[in-house]
Amino acid sequence: YGPPKYLPIDEKHPCVGDDITNPYGKSKYICEHILKDATAAHPEWNVILLRYFNPIGAHKTGLIGEDPIGRPNNLMPFIAQVAVGRLPYVNVFGTDYDTPD
């Protein structure tokens, strides 16, 4: 959630609250601590903490992140492809909900 202490970043990489550089990272850090406290109080709970790097999109070089070749399998790559001009629009499918879209 801020500058790394070392590279490559692994599962044991420390996360220090004072080094966090943005509000989203701070909220993730707070949630991690809430879940750690909860599992300490309730050892029967099983919790997994996921530190997503880049859940959507890709670096412009295509070396990292999701930049699907062919048909993406979720909504965000379609939105990203429209944003960069690869697709003219996002299709909306379905007739089972009466919505203004």
Tens of pLDDT, residues 38-63: 999 999 998 888 776 555 556 667 66
Where along the chain do its domains lie?
1-51, 55-93
What are the phi and psi torsion angles at 50 (to 5°)? -110, 125
pLDDT in tens, 17-33: 778 888 888 898 899 89
Instruction: Specify the pTM.
Output: 0.48
Torsion of CA 80, 83, 85, 91, to 10 degrees: 70
Which among 6, 24, 29, 89 is annotated as catalytic? 24
| Residue 97 annotated as catalytic | no
**Nearest-angstrom CA–CA distance, 18 and 69:** 39
In 42-90, which ranges are continuous DSSP H helix? 75-83
